Structure 1
C-alpha cells in the first residue's frame, strides 16, 4: 500500500504540477518545503547533520537557516522536475548558464568520450536537459532502481523523454554499457558523491571519511575518456554551473591506487562547490562512514 501511494504521489506531481502556472508552482514548492522543515523529521535532521560537516563553525541558528534554505532548494528541484517535460528549448536555455562548457565540447570533438561527474547540487536533470537541447548531445546516465518498480519506470520514462539513455544501477551490466558509449566517443553523466554499492572508494570529505563510487575513475582508466568534474547551484531564477579541468589518470601506481587518487580529486572538487553553495546540496541521506557505522569511528580512535 505504501509503495502504491508513493507511486501515485509522484504520478500526481508529473500530471498536475506541470500544469500549474510557474509562480503558483514556485509558491507551492516553498510552502511544502517550509512545512516539512518545521516538522523537523528525519530527513531534515539528517540534512542539518550533513551541513554541520560542510560549515563546521556554523552556530545552531545558522545551521537552521541553511537547512531551511536547503529544503527550499530541494523542493525547487522537484517542482522544476515535475514541470520540466513541458518546458521548451527556450525555457530551458533561459534558465541555465554553465561556465567552461567548452571543456565538454572540445572533449567530445576529440573523439575520446567524456565523463561528467557531479554531486547532488541544484538540479542535475535540468542540466541534462540543457545538454541535450543546447549542445545537441545525447548522453547515458545511471539510475538507482526504486521501489515500487512502477516508480522506477516513471523516472526512466521521464529522463528518456529529456533525451537521456538510462542504464539501471543494478540488475544489468551498467559498467559495460557505459564503457561502450565512451569508446564510441559519447558522453555519460554520473551523480557521484554517494556510493550505492559495497565497492566504493574511501575519501576524505570535509575532514572525515566517506565512500564515493569508483565508477567514474575506473571508466576513465579503462576507456581513455576525459573525466570532468562539474558543480551546479541556484542563483535567483537561474541555475548556474561550472565544468572543471579534467582529473588525469596518474602515471604510476596500481589500478586501485589510481582509482583512489582520482576519486579523491573528484571529492575535493565536489567539496569546493558544496562549500560555496551548501544550501543547494541535496544530501538527505547518511554519507559519512561515522554515520553509516558509528562503531567504526570509535574503533579508529582506540
Structure 2
C-alpha cells in the first residue's frame, strides 16, 4: 500500500511539474480560494494565528490577510513540483533579483560556514536550490512516512549535490563538520520541534516551543547565521531572493536568549511580507505548559 501511495504521489508531482509558473500559480490561487470559501481547517488555523500575531490590526484587514495567505500557500503548494521537476537552471532563472548577497560572501569569507535560516515564507524550496547551486550545502529535514517518497525527495532536492540529513545525532554531526569546512547548513527554523532540545521563547508575543539546535550549531562551529527567503513577485514574474542579518545573541549560551533572538529574526522577515507566510501551520500548539491551546481552548498546552 505504501508503494502505491508513493507511486501515485510521485506521478502527480511529475505531472504538475510540467506546468508553467503562471499556470501553477493560478491553480494554487484557486485552491487557496476554495479553502477559504469552504471554511477549511487551514482557514480556521490561519485566522487564529493572524489574530494572535496582529491583535491591533483592524478585523477587515486581518480577514484580507488571511484570505491572501491561503492563496499564497496554494501557490507554494503548486510551485513545489516545479522546483523538484524543472531543470535546475530554469528554476534559478525565476530569481529576478538578489538582495543582501554581500552578506553571504562576507560570511563565507570567514571560513567558518553559514547557517541559513529559511522560514516557511515565500518559496523556501527555491531558496534552498539557490544556495545549493552556489555552495557546498546540507539541509536538515524530517523524513516522510512513506519510504519510497523519501528516496524521491532526497534525489530531487539533491540534484546539485546538496545533502539531506536527518535531525539525529549523526545528522547534526554532519552539519557541524560541513560548517567547519566553510559550507552551508540549511534549516527551517519555525517548525514546532519535539520536546527534546527546546526552549520556550517569544514569537509574536507568545512563548512558543523553539529549537535550540541553531544556537548549538553556531557555538560549536563559529558559523554565521543569516535569514533567507524568496519573495513571490506579482503576475507570475518570478521571485526576489532576500537575505537578512539575524538579531544578535543567536549564539548565546543561554537557550532563552538564543531562541528569543532567532524567533525575532524570523518575525522581522514575516512582517515584511506577512501574506506569504505559512499561517496554516499550528505554530502555537506548544506554548508554555499549562497555557490554553489557542486551536482548542478546552485543552492545555503540554
Task: Output the TM-score relative to the length of structure 2.
Answer: 0.85
Q: After the TM superposition, which residues 224-235 of structure 1 pair with which residues of structure 2 at under 5 Å, given as runs?
A: 224-235=222-233
The count of aligned residue pairs is 292
- Give the secondary-structure state (helix, strand or coil) at the position aligned to 2:269: helix
Partner of 1:156: 154
Partner of 1:132: 132
Matched, 1:176 2:147: no
Query: What is the distance in 1 between the residues matched to 2:105 and 2:191?
Result: 27
Q: Please, which moves more after superposition, 52-61 or 201-210?
A: 52-61
Partners of 1:217 and 1:227 within 8 A in 2? no
Partners of 2:28 and 2:72 within 8 A in 1? no
Partner of 1:57: 56
Q: After the TM superposition, which residues 249-288 of structure 1 pair with which residues of structure 2 at under 5 Å, given as runs?
A: 255=253, 257=254, 259-288=255-284
- Give the secondary-structure state (helix, strand or coil) at the position aligned to 2:266: helix
Partner of 2:86: 86
- Give the secondary-structure state (helix, strand or coil) at the position aligned to 2:178: helix
CA RMSD of aligned residues (A): 2.9
Query: What is the distance in 2 between the residues matched to 1:218 and 1:272?
Result: 22
- Give the secondary-structure state (helix, strand or coil) at the position aligned to 2:152: helix
Partners of 1:115 and 1:227 within 8 A in 2? yes
Partner of 2:110: 110
* Structure 1 residues 13 and 296, CA gap change in structure 2 (3 angstroms): closer
* Structure 1 residues 177 and 283, CA gap change in structure 2 (3 angstroms): farther
Query: Could you tell me how far 1:91 is from its partner in structure 2?
Result: 4.7
Partners of 1:227 and 1:248 within 8 A in 2? no
Alignment deviations for residues 97-143 of structure 1 (CA, whole Å, 9 cap, x no partner): 3311211122112211111113210111101112233xx21311011
Partner of 1:243: 243
Query: What is the distance in 1 between the residues matched to 2:289 and 2:233?
Result: 33
Task: Name stretches of at least 5 consecutive residues in structure 1 with no aligned partner.
Answer: none
* Structure 1 residues 144 and 91, CA gap change in structure 2 (3 angstroms): closer
Query: What is the distance in 2 between the residues matched to 1:272 and 1:122?
Result: 14
Partners of 1:232 and 1:242 within 8 A in 2? yes
Partners of 1:160 and 1:166 within 8 A in 2? yes
- Give the secondary-structure state (helix, strand or coil) at the position aligned to 1:19: coil
Query: What is the distance in 1 between the residues matched to 2:208 and 2:256?
Result: 12
Alignment deviations for residues 175-214 of structure 1 (CA, whole Å, 9 cap, x no partner): 1111111111111111101232212221111111112211
Q: Please, which moves more after superposition, 104-113 or 148-157?
A: 148-157
Partners of 1:228 and 1:247 within 8 A in 2? no
Query: What is the distance in 1 between the residues matched to 2:112 and 2:35?
Result: 45
Partner of 1:44: 43
- Give the secondary-structure state (helix, strand or coil) at the position aligned to 1:192: coil
* Structure 1 residues 280 and 293, CA gap change in structure 2 (3 angstroms): farther
* Structure 1 residues 91 and 181, CA gap change in structure 2 (3 angstroms): closer
Query: Could you tell me how far 1:250 is from its partner in structure 2?
Result: 7.8
* Structure 1 residues 160 and 53, CA gap change in structure 2 (3 angstroms): same
Partners of 2:118 and 2:127 within 8 A in 1? no
Task: Name stretches of at least 5 consecutive residues in structure 2 with no aligned partner.
Answer: none
Q: Please, which moves more after superposition, 232-241 or 272-281?
A: 232-241
Partners of 2:18 and 2:82 within 8 A in 1? yes
Query: Could you tell me how far 1:279 is from its partner in structure 2?
Result: 1.1
Task: Output the TM-score relative to the length of structure 1.
Answer: 0.85
Partner of 1:16: 15
